[in-house]
Structure 1
Amino acid sequence: MNLKLILLCLFATVFSIQAQNSVKPTLLENSGSISGKIVDKKSNEPLPYVNVIVKEENKVITGGITSDKGTFLIKNLALKNYTVEIQFIGYKTVTKAISLTTGDKNVNMNTIPLEEDAIQLKGVDVVSERSTIEQKIDRKVINVGKDLISAGATAAEIMNNIPSVSVDPQTNAISLRGNSNVRILIDGKPTTIEASQLLQQIPSTSIKQIELITNPSAKYNPEGMSGIINIVLNKNSKIGFNGSVNNGVTFGKTPKLNSSLDMNYRTGKFNIYGNYGLNTGKQSNHGFIKTTEPGQEDFQKFTFLNTNTSHLAKVGFDFYLNEKNTISFYTTQNIYRGKGDSKTTVDFLDPSKTDITQLFNNKNKNYSQAYNFDYKKDFKKEGHNIELEVNYTNNDDKENAIFSTPATNYITNKGNNTLINLDYTNPLNKTTKLELGLESRIENTKNNFIKNDSYNSDFSYNRNIYSAYANISKQIGKWSGQVGTRFEKYNAKALFKKVNENNETFEDDLFTLYPSGYINYTPSEKNSFNLSFSRRVDRPSIDQVNPIREWSTPQIDSEGNPELFPQFTNSYELNYTRKTKIGSITTGVFYRRINDEITRTLYENPNDPSKLILSYTNLNDNNAYGFEISGNLQFTKWFSSNVSFDAYSKKTRGIVADEFVEVNVTSVNARISNTFKASKNLRFQLSSMYRGRDLGIQMLRQPMWKMDLGTSYTVLKGSGTITARFSDVFNTMHFAFEGTKPKKLEGQFNWESQSAYIGFNYRFGAGKNKAIQRKQRDKNETQGGGGLL
């Protein structure tokens, strides 16, 4: 009811503003006017929203834009000589001299045809040959080119070719600079869909940019120790009907289909778009864990076969009330169905123990949806605006699992989130900008566990977050800076009920400040230095605190820890970007001070010491620091390369099995992606990656590496692209580990890393590009889009 009241008041405000802005100016007696109509030279179609600028002696006096019918009328002009400039993206600028006199006060320029500018059109809505990397004041921006698109069919696959980013090949969990505490945004907005699932659903052809925000400003929510990864999707802004269709098949041990359809219709004051993505197929995995602890030796063998199908759709519109007011709405609907069959065998060395064979099959159903309303008001001064966003999401997840014991587990997870966000930006002058904002987030989750058709337990988790932020930025010559603080009130409550046990409750109530600061120095066009600081927080997710079983094998149970509390991180970073004749090179160093770090832990089951429980815990305070370098290099017209290298060290301390443990580790990661252009339409890619070993207080992960080959061929006069790829050429990619506490063990898991992919992307439609951009909420320099979410 409260949400409906807010929306009702908002609509009343919008139409009140529209009414105020619709008052027509009067024509003064001793003044004149200029009018005309703008059309496309080839089609003779009218062009709306064209910029018409009136100048006097090269000084801008006034201006306007054309209507939906391509007409314009500029009134209240003094009777003088003027220069009229007509500017529009994708067209050549037209300049005409006009003279207003007492005898000719009202000049009609009649129909003015605009001619396409081939130079401008070359860079409009065309995917570049190769990816480029830009270092902004608060983020690193990777503009996705054909080389990265050829590196994978989905977002999860091309992420492994992005500097500082890693995707776990088994779980699809994403990490930044070796840390999985990272926040994922799509077009600057959060999503309730798990990142591991979402990355599999977004086609690589739908991605325009990937932004790595390792030290976000106070404008952003402070979640994510290692920062934010913002995936910016393509959005077609042409007049008329446009779109693209993408189909691809991956062949491993089993085939997998990845398809998507993007459509956009732009006319007059409306922009309507719709997207649909389908992922379906089987995944085969296998592995083993060998326990070598004296007296507890065993060999566990695992085989998994999962069949998953997901449908992800988005429908939305933008309504331009006028050049200063925009209303936007979209909804996303996600349907996921999965079923899995697995077999686990446990072979005990001790002959007195009976070997175990466990068969397991499960079915998952998930339905999630989101509804987003946005209103943006631009004031007269450029860059001066206010924006209100209301976002509501809910999800319903069900799992039915059957073990061969036999035993059945039925788990339901339901949740809903409401976000209301207000942003205000005011350029106080040419060198100073003020940003203010308010946000309210209300999140509710409830889980229920039924075992063998009888109630076992349920868990509810609710949290409310109210925040405000202020940022101010200033530029002085070659120096620029920004400081800000986010003020946040956080409250969380949890209740766990289980049969034959007392209820467990948890409550957390915090008021916290999250400061941030940036200093940027640009001594020349080729050199740039950036120093930044931010304070971040990682609050336990519902999966980390939920004590209800996540999954189970005969020897290991996975469950959350409701007693987890947040971890805080103070992050410092220094970057240097150098532009050379062959490209740009960025180097950086960073340091993190981590308080109460959240990590995975493995401990003995108190009810059966021969078994283990995989959960989460808070460690002591830890330090991490590192170095990274990345380059986007064009050696020749036919050979270019993206190279990245990073190394980070960390000291981790904590208590495992009642013993204090401290480890120091240095991990090294490297990537190189080479593109060879054989002709205008044909190119080849050769890429490889190396992920060094990683040591935790309980486990050592062995190094991983692979090499991929790819090619793409442009057909149908540039409208179509055929892509092929052979991944993990030498079949070297696998996850191997060794553990020491609480038991000595070793293991390895393999998946369908070696695979072949063939895909086809076709872009259709025609029309002229619009000069109006869609809303840019919560992403500073990011251009939003109507992509898949």
Structure 2
Amino acid sequence: MKQINFAVMLVLFLTGFYNYAQQGPPAKNKVKVTGKVFEKVTKQPLEYATISIMAPNDTKVIAGGITNPKGEFEVAVAPGTYDIKVEFISFKSTEIKQKSIQDDTNLGVVNLSEDAAQLNEVVVRAEKSTVEIKLDKKVYNVGQDMMVKGGTVSDVLDNVPSVSVDSEGNVSLRGSDNIRILIDGRPSQAINVAEALRQLPADAIEKVEVITNPSARYDAEGGSGIINIILKKGKNQGFNGTFIASTGLPETYGLSANVNYKTEKLNYFTTAGYNYRTNEGGGLTNTSYYNADGSPKGYLDEDRDTKRIRNGFNARGGVEWTITPTTFWTNAINYQKNTGEDKDLINYNNFDAARAFTGSTYRLNNTDTGSENVEFTSNLIKNFNDKGHKLTADLSVSRNTDNSDGIITASPSFNTTLNDQVQKQVLLQADYVLPLGKGSQFEAGYKGSFGDLNNEYYVTDENYVKDPNKSNTLEYKENINALYAQYGLKVNKFSYLFGLRWEDTNIQVNLLDNSQFNTKKYNNLFPSAFISYEISDQSNLTASYSKRLTRPRGRFMNPALNYSSNINIFQGNPDLDPSLTDKYDVGYIKRWEKVTFSTSAYFENTKDVFSFVRTPNGDNVDGIPVILSRPINLGREQKYGFEFTFNYTPFKWWRLNSNFNLYNVKTTGENTYTDTQNNLVVQNLDNQANTWFARINSKVTLPYKIDWQLNGTYNGEQKTAQGKNLDQFSMNTALSKDILKDKATIAFNISDIFNSRIMRSYTYLQNDTTLESQKSYSEMQFRKRQFNLSFTYRFNKPKSERDKNAQPKNDGGGEGSGDFPG
């Protein structure tokens, strides 16, 4: 309650600050020119129409403005005689010649007609590139990518520059999984973020922003950066929407709708969808065991076959209310419910030192899964003027459940497992932006995040007796309060942004079954600095610094054993500390007529980095030593790399975009533990590795207006502290065709054409007390090749929407957007 009171007081303070900072009345000797701009046929107001006021027979604009959602405009100008021009993309412009303006003048309604001669050109001009390169972020426009039709958000992210998604759905940025995932500028509240992203349909996403070095405005969470997923919100006047149906092999089908209805003051938007997905996968692990003298001791070959089935329903509904022309209030409810079934069959084949077969066993995991997520969000925006002076306030309340109940059958016994989680989250945020003059502005804000997670996990034996060594109840509470301020200015060709964020963290990790209580309290300052130099209108040079933080969460801190395998067990570590990262980035962007090129060199220095270590736990299953994997605060990680992204349009019918990332990671640290013979063991985990990542995407318009898209992704080999990950290549393709007078689109795509997206790795382990060792080779394929066919139908919403280039009132909400002052 104290945090909520503090947030309310801060909002009141910022509102009072606004009253103090209000600008005075318009300068004397100026008059106002007002009016409305409507579409001639439908009589609907045109938002973002441009009004230009010029001296007679002169093209230099003296004053101007744009229309609001009602089509209204107001421009201040000194008394005189002027030419007035009203324009809107794909419409014929209207000019009023030599209009005498001596006092306040209302021009009435200006009606604009569509320009049929320009429509075909507008389609080409208005279509956004799949990837937009900006100074402080990369923006991936989902609607332009045919590869993700009928797919999920995980498929979307796997096509985004600098981003990759592994076989288990975990997302990484520039090769690091220490990232923060936002949805509409707010943290994802799902308990299992990877699973939630696999269930949310791609059709619900408008675009994805990748911010590799965020400013103080953003959460300090995410050592390697932020990925902001922006959901669709209808903006067109009237009733319009999109329906999408899809089907595929292995058995997959879905149906979704995105509908909105906009009136003069209210914009109702909704998205709903159902999907059924089957993921077939598999893998193998071949392990060789050696005696202290290096001679073979035995061999174990594991063969794994997996099948995951998911039924998912998601819905999102809300309304944006234009209270006044400068005040907007949006409320929305998000609901997601998923059920599923996981089947994981592992066959174990044992061999002696001479590679003679000695016997086999099996292990079948049958798991029923289910999750339900409910979230209410509210966003209030007050624009005090059209120069960026505004106040925003956000509230988010959510409840999430995630259940997984399984039966593990193995010869000659079986076990049952239960893993039930309930999470409640409240988020409060207020942001204030105050322009202080030409080219400078001040920002300040508060954010409070208050969460409570309860996780019950247990394992029973064949007699349904609970095993206390493998069971526990975790209570995790996390309260974070943050304040920030930043100041930006532009001087000639230089732009500067300096910020400071303060975050106070209070975390409780309580193990209720054995009465272990662990509290962690810490607060940190997070400075940030950005400098941009405008070399020309087409090129910029930037340099930036920020301090970031990564908090351990979820399975990282849960000490309950993951019992999906009886010889490879995962266990969380409730004593993990957060890791802190200093990030440095120097970037350059250059635009030509057909090419946009962006490159950057970066360096990251992380203290107390998380790392997984694998050690024998002393147990054996049929003579096979059991390996325990758990996270620790290893020591220090230093990463430096080079990245470039480019968009190239050699012809109107051909587009290329590519991303390349080369980096070196140096890790220093050691792991100390006591083995089952009470010996102190020190593992040296120093490691240095080079690797690279590349992706290229080609989009071609074939005859008969058929679009063809092809992309390829390559991940280079990377050495690890206890082995190495081998290289990986995959390729996808898609074809699409607009039909029914461009009101519908049919698309066909193939994911992983060559069925080559397989994670392959080697792992080397040595018991330092006995000098026995083992070597493992593993392959894992989460999802095999898939075929997908989708049909999209648009009503009252042509493919070349007129407003797709319009700037929304609050693009993404929550954390805000656009760091550099104008």
Contact 1:311 1:336 in 2 (8 A): yes
Equivalent in the alignment of 1:775:
810
The equivalent position to 2:346 in structure 1, one of 336, 340, 344, is 344
Supply the RMSD in Å over aligned alpha carbons: 3.7
Contact 1:652 1:696 in 2 (8 A): no
Equivalent in the alignment of 1:786:
none
Deviates more, 1:41-50 or 1:568-577: 41-50
The alpha carbon displacement at 1:188 in A equals 1.8
Equivalent in the alignment of 1:658:
682
The letter for the 2-side match of 1:654 is G
Deviates more, 1:559-568 or 1:107-116: 107-116
Mapping 1:246-265, distance limit 5 Å: 246-251=244-249, 254-265=250-261
| Distance change (3 Å), C-alpha of 1:83 and 1:551 | farther
| Distance change (3 Å), C-alpha of 1:321 and 1:622 | same
Q: Secondary structure at the match of 2:222?
A: coil
The alpha carbon displacement at 1:346 in A equals 2.2
The alpha carbon displacement at 1:313 in A equals 1.0
Equivalent in the alignment of 2:456:
448
Contact 1:207 1:232 in 2 (8 A): yes
Equivalent in the alignment of 2:184:
187
The alpha carbon displacement at 1:639 in A equals 3.0
CA distance in 2, matches of 1:706, 1:635: 25
Equivalent in the alignment of 2:158:
160
Q: Deviations over 1:691-730 (max 9, x none)?
A: 1112211231111112333222122222222211233333
Equivalent in the alignment of 1:677:
701
Contact 1:276 1:314 in 2 (8 A): yes
> Could you tell me the percent identity over the aligned residues?
25
The letter for the 2-side match of 1:754 is R
The equivalent position to 1:408 in structure 2, one of 409, 416, 420, is 416
CA distance in 2, matches of 1:110, 1:94: 13
Equivalent in the alignment of 1:20:
none
Q: Deviations over 1:211-249 (max 9, x none)?
A: 221111011001111101122334321100111112222
Mapping 1:248-397, distance limit 5 Å: 248-251=246-249, 254-294=250-290, 295=297, 297-350=299-352, 355-380=360-385, 382-397=387-402
CA distance in 2, matches of 1:53, 1:191: 43
Q: Secondary structure at the match of 1:774?
A: coil
1:462 aligns with 2:459: no
CA distance in 1, matches of 2:69, 2:651: 47
Equivalent in the alignment of 1:787:
none
| Distance change (3 Å), C-alpha of 1:110 and 1:483 | closer
The letter for the 1-side match of 2:490 is Q
Q: Secondary structure at the match of 1:718?
A: coil
CA distance in 2, matches of 1:759, 1:256: 11
CA distance in 2, matches of 1:325, 1:158: 33
Equivalent in the alignment of 2:20:
none
The alpha carbon displacement at 1:12 in A equals 11
1:724 aligns with 2:748: yes
Q: Deviations over 1:534-585 (max 9, x none)?
A: 1111100122101123442121222211111111111111112222343122
The letter for the 2-side match of 1:176 is L
Alignment coverage as a number of residue pairs: 763
Contact 1:188 1:782 in 2 (8 A): no
1:688 aligns with 2:684: no
Equivalent in the alignment of 1:176:
173
CA distance in 2, matches of 1:510, 1:385: 32
Contact 2:312 2:338 in 1 (8 A): yes
CA distance in 1, matches of 2:63, 2:444: 31
Mapping 1:186-265, distance limit 5 Å: 186-193=183-190, 194-251=192-249, 254-265=250-261
Contact 1:399 1:411 in 2 (8 A): yes
| Distance change (3 Å), C-alpha of 1:79 and 1:182 | closer
Deviates more, 1:193-202 or 1:210-219: 193-202
| Distance change (3 Å), C-alpha of 1:386 and 1:345 | same
The alpha carbon displacement at 1:45 in A equals 4.8
CA distance in 1, matches of 2:128, 2:384: 38
The alpha carbon displacement at 1:120 in A equals 8.7
Contact 1:130 1:147 in 2 (8 A): no
The letter for the 1-side match of 2:393 is L
CA distance in 2, matches of 1:585, 1:151: 27
| Distance change (3 Å), C-alpha of 1:71 and 1:547 | closer
CA distance in 2, matches of 1:352, 1:678: 57
The equivalent position to 2:787 in structure 1, one of 756, 760, 774, is 756
1:711 aligns with 2:746: no
Deviates more, 1:7-16 or 1:750-759: 7-16
CA distance in 2, matches of 1:482, 1:124: 37
Equivalent in the alignment of 2:674:
none
Contact 1:448 1:457 in 2 (8 A): yes
Q: Secondary structure at the match of 2:437?
A: coil
CA distance in 2, matches of 1:13, 1:388: 13
Contact 2:242 2:794 in 1 (8 A): yes
CA distance in 1, matches of 2:112, 2:490: 37
The letter for the 2-side match of 1:290 is N
Mapping 1:486-525, distance limit 5 Å: 486-498=501-513, 502-525=514-537
| Distance change (3 Å), C-alpha of 1:152 and 1:125 | farther
CA distance in 2, matches of 1:431, 1:359: 64
Q: Which runs of 5+ in 2 are unaligned?
A: 18-24, 291-296, 672-680, 767-773
Q: Deviations over 1:397-456 (max 9, x none)?
A: 222111223322222111111111110111111111111111111111111124446584
The letter for the 2-side match of 1:555 is I
The alpha carbon displacement at 1:641 in A equals 1.7
The equivalent position to 2:491 in structure 1, one of 472, 476, 487, is 476
CA distance in 2, matches of 1:344, 1:621: 37
CA distance in 2, matches of 1:378, 1:729: 50
Contact 1:314 1:333 in 2 (8 A): yes
The letter for the 2-side match of 1:643 is S
CA distance in 1, matches of 2:661, 2:573: 33
Mapping 1:523-602, distance limit 5 Å: 523-602=535-614
| Distance change (3 Å), C-alpha of 1:557 and 1:774 | same
Contact 1:282 1:306 in 2 (8 A): yes
The letter for the 1-side match of 2:414 is P
Contact 1:247 1:759 in 2 (8 A): yes
1:744 aligns with 2:769: no
Q: Secondary structure at the match of 1:576?
A: strand
Equivalent in the alignment of 1:614:
629
1:436 aligns with 2:457: no
Q: Secondary structure at the match of 1:744?
A: strand
The alpha carbon displacement at 1:142 in A equals 3.2
CA distance in 1, matches of 2:384, 2:302: 66
Deviates more, 1:215-224 or 1:729-738: 729-738
1:43 aligns with 2:54: no
The letter for the 1-side match of 2:498 is V
Contact 1:150 1:711 in 2 (8 A): no
CA distance in 1, matches of 2:650, 2:809: 36
Taking structure 2 as the reference length, the TM-score comes to: 0.84
CA distance in 2, matches of 1:566, 1:310: 34
Contact 2:588 2:598 in 1 (8 A): yes
The letter for the 2-side match of 1:646 is N
The alpha carbon displacement at 1:64 in A equals 9.5
Q: Secondary structure at the match of 1:543?
A: helix
The alpha carbon displacement at 1:146 in A equals 3.1
CA distance in 1, matches of 2:498, 2:257: 42
Taking structure 1 as the reference length, the TM-score comes to: 0.87
CA distance in 2, matches of 1:447, 1:292: 37
CA distance in 2, matches of 1:781, 1:715: 36
The letter for the 1-side match of 2:572 is G
Q: Secondary structure at the match of 2:187?
A: coil
Deviates more, 1:40-49 or 1:412-421: 40-49
1:135 aligns with 2:134: yes
CA distance in 2, matches of 1:319, 1:237: 12
